[in-house]
Amino acid sequence: MSAPVVQLVSAVDPEPEPPEVEAAAPALLEDAPDLMSPATLSAVLDDIKVATLAEWRTKDKGKPVDEMVGPPWRKLGGAVRYLKGDVIDWIGRLPVGMTS
């Protein structure tokens, strides 16, 4: 007959899973439209001015998405638009504690 198997349980909780990208997005973004103008995104993000978004677009032009300061944007005709999913991903890539 074999000895009983004893399973040890650690008293230390396992490390928590990193939060989902959506969890990092502001609650207001959940109700935002899927396609946003700079004015709409500015209103949704509350503290980020339309002029700041324009400045980021100028700085980020031609950069890969992972090197951009601001959220990725698209030009539809002459209009600048932000996709909700892109903004959520951008927020998820921001370092914790980053101020803009």
Q: 25-28: long-range contacts (C-beta < 8 A, 24 or more apart)?
A: 25/87, 25/88, 25/91, 25/92, 26/91
DSSP state of 67: G
Comparison of pLDDT for 47 and 17, the residue scoring more: 47
**What are 71-100's pLDDT values in tens digits?**
999 999 999 999 999 999 998 888 887 565
Confidence band, pLDDT 50/70/90 cuts, at residue 47: confident
- For the chain, give the mean pLDDT: 80
Question: What per-residue confidence (pLDDT) applies to 72?
Answer: 95
pTM of the entire predicted model: 0.69
